[in-house]
Amino acid sequence: MEKRAGEERLNYLKTIVDRLPEEPGSYQYWDETGTIIYVGKAKNLKKRVASYFNKNQESIKTRMLVSKIQDISYTTVRTEEDALNLENKLIKKYKPRYNVMLKDDKTYPSIAIPETPFPRVYKTRQTDKKHVTYYGPYTFVGALNNVMGLIKHLYPLRTCNLNLTKENIEAGKFKVCLEYHMGNCKGPCIGKQSEEEYMKNVEEVREILKGNTRKLEKYFLLTMKKLAEELRFEEAEILKQRLLTLQNFNAKSEVVNYRMDNIDVFSIEEDEEHKSAFINFMHVKNGCINQSFTFEYKRRLDETSEELLTLGISEMRERFGSKAKEIIVPFHVEMEMNNATFTVPVRGDKKKLLDLSILNVKEYKKDRIQQEEKLNPEQRAVRLLKELQDLLHLEKLPIRIECFDNSNIQGANPVAGCVVFIKGKPSKNDYRKYNIKTVIGPDDYASMREVVYRKYARAIEEETPLPDLIITDGGKGQMGIVKEVLDELKLDIPIAGLAKDDKHRTNELLFGFPPQTIGMKQDSALFHLLTRIQDEVHRFAITFHREKRSKHQISSELDNIKGIGSKTKETLLKHFKSVKRIKEADKESIAEIVGNAKAGIIKAYFDNNIVSKLS
């Protein structure tokens, strides 16, 4: 029954596909609840939609989408650009389940100038008021503050909300505020500044906000010279200071040839792990970047970089009202836009712009990942383990990593340690200490063989978890020993080795048989994780060896004293902390702890030993 229903559904959809026009447009897929689950665009609607129903469709996600489609609708448009814009609007409106998701949904600040007498110039996030001109939005608040700082430095405009109509001013309803006394306002509220002069300043502010700072520079220079010729030196000095301020601002803002005007720049950076893509948008006017923003798209299907970039171009140009006639991109895109051409630069100033955009998008991706990992430290660990999995071509994620190390001094008190890291963090409850039982003398290979065999033979017997990766604190020899043991136990566990250079510093990761050096940057987070595991097993084994050596030394000293039992020895060590301090203590001090009789025995023993050594 279900099979028949499925065949009927596909036949119905194919009849729709057969009737589709070979024109540009947007298509919409609907599910059984009457909800749009996907919106797409096409240069040729019939050809594009038909491709979804290809039997050789490889993408699992696309096959899942097709299985949910119950109906198809479409809208034809005149150009591919119109199709892209329509797709973008429909995605925003319906938020379909299978479409890429623009994660950024912020409202960015703009600069507003209302159509009122003596208008203020102020920052705002609301852009829906009538009779107000908005400039922006500014995606980087620092850039907005820089512009506002420039305007405040150049022009003493009012910041109050007073209703400065001609009638109110003439009626004397207002008094000047602190801003007037500080020189930040010329007092239009009491008639100290004419509306004509004030509006002239506002028009110059508008030129700055449009990015026409070069035009304003020329105006300041010509007017300043004219005022000087007319011997109006004070007014000329004011313009000179404004000119210097504006030139200083332009020098900091200008990144390329100032003749480059009205250009959009886009770049894209992939993040395969999180199924995301980051897209940077910059707008250049008069050689200065007056808008720059990086945003993230979350993949839902297997969208290509080109598909994501074209969607990003449409979104950002609409959002920021860009009408740039040239669009710089990192690679060729199959996209046509009215009154705009695409450029893929290979050298010169345009290539510098593209490189700057790429630098911005890479930094944004890095910052975003670090920010997410601060909120979720486990995510960072999983990312590093995924990186290790890819580097070593492991079948599964190395969630559980175990590392071994031996410790002895010329074969004395030989021990070994095994540390366990789960999801990149030490699992100290799973650490194990081993006294070497079968090896005589300093033989690291034989010691490693014994410990690894004991560890995993017991794990098999008790059915305790086995590691996803074993790391040896040593090179090819240690790896070979571990492999021999695993083969004997019929275990298939990947083995890696961390080898040191002549200065005893870890410098390479070994993997495979025969072992090969795996390229890895020594300043990378993954390298730091591996060396941390190595340092931890070395610390663990060394600490155990010191404890054993210390206990051995203590027992050989105090156990030789006849008449001193284990409880007395424990009491003495608890109080004096070491055998050396017991030796150095006088009889009275020892007697306070264990009594006169035992104190006399202890002092006599140590005094006799000293005499015998001297003789």
Find tokens 């790429």 and name the residue: 358
CA-angle at 375, arms to 369 and 381, nearest 5°: 65
pLDDT at 228 over 50: yes
The residue among 497, 511, 506, 512 whose CA lies nearest residue 528 is 506
- In degrees and rounded to multiples of 5, residue 176 shows phi and psi of -70, 150
Q: What is the pLDDT of residues 195-217, one digit of tens each?
A: 999 999 899 888 877 767 777 77
Mean pLDDT of the chain: 81
Tell me, yes or no, whether 508 and 398 share the same domain.
Answer: yes
Q: What is the pLDDT of residues 92-128, one digit of tens each?
A: 788 888 887 766 555 667 889 999 999 999 988 877 7
Residue 380 inside a domain? The answer is: no
Q: For position 412, what pLDDT does the model report?
A: 55
Tell me, yes or no, whether 240 and 269 share the same domain.
Answer: no
Residue 344 inside a domain? The answer is: yes
Tell me, yes or no, whether 448 and 537 share the same domain.
Answer: yes
**CATH number of domain containing 435:** 3.30.420.340
* Final residue in a domain of this structure, among 26, 61, 96: 96
pLDDT at 400 over 90: yes
Cα distance between residue 119 and residue 160, in whole Å: 10
Tell me, yes or no, whether 524 and 398 share the same domain.
Answer: yes
Q: What is the pLDDT of residues 308-350, one digit of tens each?
A: 898 888 888 887 778 888 999 999 988 877 788 899 998 888 8
Confidence band for 58, pLDDT divided at 50, 70 and 90? low
Question: Between 375 and 467, whose confidence is greater?
Answer: 467
Ordered strands of the 71-76 beta sheet: 36-42, 25-30, 71-76
Tell me, yes or no, whether 317 and 457 share the same domain.
Answer: no
Residue 378 inside a domain? The answer is: no
**Position 166, amino acid:** K
Q: Report whether 382 contacts 396 (CB < 8 A).
A: no
Q: What is the pLDDT of residues 122-131, one digit of tens each?
A: 988 877 788 8
Residue 407 inside a domain? The answer is: yes
* Final residue in a domain of this structure, among 324, 348, 373: 373
pLDDT at 421 over 90: yes
For the residues 528-537, what does the mean pLDDT come to?
86
Radius of gyration of the chain (CA): 39
pLDDT at 396 over 50: yes
Number of other CB atoms surrounding residue 35 within 10 Å: 13
Tell me, yes or no, whether 37 and 122 share the same domain.
Answer: no
Quote the number of domains for the chain.
Answer: 5
Residue 468 inside a domain? The answer is: yes
Helix, coil or strand: residue 587: helix
Q: For position 602, what pLDDT does the model report?
A: 83
The reply to whether the predicted model has a pTM over 0.75 is no
Q: Which helix (H) or strand (E) holds 403?
A: strand 400-409
Tell me, yes or no, whether 331 and 271 share the same domain.
Answer: yes
Q: For position 614, what pLDDT does the model report?
A: 41
Tell me, yes or no, whether 594 and 574 share the same domain.
Answer: yes
For the residues 68-80, what does the mean pLDDT come to?
86
Tell me, yes or no, whether 242 and 137 share the same domain.
Answer: yes
Tell me, yes or no, whether 526 and 587 share the same domain.
Answer: no
Q: Residue 536 contacts by C-beta under 8 Å, 6 or more apart in sequence?
A: 403, 419, 421, 426
Least confident stretch, 74-88, 243-257, 506-520 = 243-257
- For 248-301, the DSSP string reads HHHHHHB-S-TT--SEEEEEEEEETTTTEEEEEEEEEETTEEEEEEEEEEE-SS
Residue 53 Cα distances to 13, 17, 49, 310, 354, angstroms: 9, 9, 8, 24, 38
Token output for 352: 């510098």
**CATH number of domain containing 304:** 3.30.70
Tell me, yes or no, whether 271 and 145 share the same domain.
Answer: no
Question: Between 235 and 173, whose confidence is greater?
Answer: 173
* Domain housing 576: 559-614
Question: Between 149 and 426, whose confidence is greater?
Answer: 426
**CATH number of domain containing 585:** 1.10.150
Q: 543-549: which pairs have CB atoms within 8 A and are 24 or more residues apart?
A: 544/407, 544/415, 544/417, 544/433, 545/407, 545/408, 545/409, 545/413, 545/415, 548/413, 548/415, 548/435, 549/409, 549/412, 549/413
Q: For position 274, what pLDDT does the model report?
A: 67
pLDDT at 372 over 70: no
- In degrees and rounded to multiples of 5, residue 470 shows phi and psi of -110, 135
Residue 570 inside a domain? The answer is: yes
Cα distance between residue 392 and residue 404, in whole Å: 19
Tell me, yes or no, whether 483 and 359 share the same domain.
Answer: no
Confidence band for 405, pLDDT divided at 50, 70 and 90? confident
Q: What is the pLDDT of residues 441-493, one digit of tens each?
A: 667 788 888 888 998 999 998 888 899 999 887 778 888 889 999 999 899 89
* Final residue in a domain of this structure, among 502, 524, 549: 549
Q: Report whether 81 contacts 323 (CB < 8 A).
A: no
Share of the chain above pLDDT 70, in %: 86
Question: Between 557 and 167, whose confidence is greater?
Answer: 167
Share of the chain above pLDDT 90, in %: 11
Residue 45 inside a domain? The answer is: yes
Provide the total of helices (H) and of strands (E) in the chain, helices listed first: 20, 20
Q: For position 402, what pLDDT does the model report?
A: 92
Strands 326-328 and 263-271: parallel
Cis peptide before 156 (omega within 30 of 0): no
Residue 268 Cα distances to 139, 304, 365, 391, angstroms: 17, 11, 10, 24
